[in-house]
Amino acid sequence: MSHQRIPKRKAALAAGAVVALGAAAVLLPNANASQDDGGSGGTAAAPRTLKAADASDLASQLSGLLGDAFAGSYYDAGKQQLVVNVVAGDNNDVVVRAEKAGAAVREVDNSIAELKAGAGTLKSEATIPGTSWAVDPRTNKILVTADSTVTGASWDRLESTVEGLGPGMATLKKSAGTFKTFLSGGDAIFGGGARCSLGFNVTASDGSPAFLTAGHCGVAAAEWSDAQGGQPVATVDQAVFPGQGDFALVTYDDPATEAPSEVNVGSQTVPISGAAEATVGQQVFRMGSTTGLADGQVLGLDATVNYPEGTVTGLIQTDVCAEPGDSGGSLFTQDGLAIGLTSGGSGDCTAGGETFFQPVTTALQAVGATLGDAAAGAGGAGAGDPSGGEGTGAGDQAGGGEADNGMGDAGDGTGAGDADVSGLTQTH
């Protein structure tokens, strides 16, 4: 599969533009409009059929409507329904209101406040490198994961903390891999010996062309080139890592650069119309310069990850594979909505593993940039309520790793991605 270089002064490098795909890539179809059965009148309607993005909007509305009774939600992709957890107690009205709004309702034991309190306990008592936690609304518990480096006294401490949260509050899982940011050497965009994948082209607050990538890429080097050893074409404007996120805004040095909102998946580009919040259960696609296109599901939100470099909060947890070199790459939906930026995780695209992504909405809000339609950019941000996390700035990072940024000339990757973009069906 051949790849054409995009002239920098005519078009900015398409986001995630980097690899020959292992599976044939065809244009992603436009999603059908949501099939709204509509919650009619006075009696509870059957759950509506919704696209994942519409389900996310409904979840936000119900969160405000139900107040303390709202205990999280997730998207049932098979039924195309939003499932809302409620702690109803003696108030059956909250169930009726959620059903009338079109959601499938499930009564659960743990409230959002209780789950957040549990995450706060984990932060204060078990912030151990190689651990992570996120609320899983499908189990109504906190999913706690430890990588292969957590052993001996560290494992005992983590296990004791989880048990101390009480029965039914958390589950503890052991990962075979090691949590790390996905930096690597190779062909893509380069800065100071680092290589990263471009996430999404954006417009900075002053109107200049720019792009988002991972914060740990932004602190690894101040200037980025589209060829190893080449002249810089973009400069880091803002970077956050570790702390309350993993994102960076990088501005193109040439103000005449056109920066289209699209993701290059190899044989064509996917237009990106705006940014959206992730929903647990939602199917997503990731593009990166090492492994190309891969797909999977969102598993958890507001995840805390304890990397060797420090704690990062407010991330999206998924089962989408990634490998070194994919850092900063785009996470998006079949509808062409930007969801996240690749941060890190464990495993690879052979054995699988856990992966974590920076929400695009939060990054846009923090840096004041817009993506796609201006109205769909920073205004859609919902930073969430991170379960703690120290530090807000760029912090120091050992600069030896490499970052990969799909800033331009597509290179040949491993073709490890198995996503069937023709039918947008999940492959694992």
Residues tagged active-site: 216, 246, 327
DSSP 194-255: EEE---EEEE-TTS-EEEEE-HHHHTT-SEEESSTT--EEEEEEEEE-SBS--EEEEEESST
Single-letter amino acid, residue 403: A
CB-based contacts of 62, cutoff 8 Å, min separation 6: 70, 73, 84, 98, 101, 103
Interatomic CA distance for residues 289 and 329, integer angstroms: 8
Find the distance separating the first CA and the last CA of the chain, reported in whole Å.
25
Closest CA to 362 of 321, 303, 422: 303
Q: Give the DSSP letter string of 179-195.
A: -EE----SSSEEETTEE
Q: Which of 135, 210, 220 lies closest to 378, judged by CA?
A: 210
What span, in angstroms and rounded, lies between the C-alpha atoms of 373 and 366?
18
Going by C-alpha positions, the residue among 316, 239, 306 that lies closest to residue 276 is 316
Task: Find residue 131's DSSP bridge partners.
Answer: 146
Q: Which residues of 162-179 are buried (b: 16+ CB within 10 A; e: fewer)?
A: beebeeebbebeebebbb
Report the sign of the C-alpha dihedral through residues 270, 210, 325, 319, in that order. Answer: negative
- The position carrying tokens 């994919």 is 326
Question: Between β-strands 232-240 and 194-196, what pairing exists: parallel, antiparallel or unpaired?
Answer: unpaired
Whether residue 271 is preceded by a cis peptide bond, meaning omega within 30 degrees of 0, is: no
Cβ–Cβ under 8 Å, residues 188 and 18: yes
Strand partners, 142: 135, 170
**Nearest CA to 105 among 74, 129, 135, 126?**
74
Give CA–CA dist 274/361, Å, rounded.
9
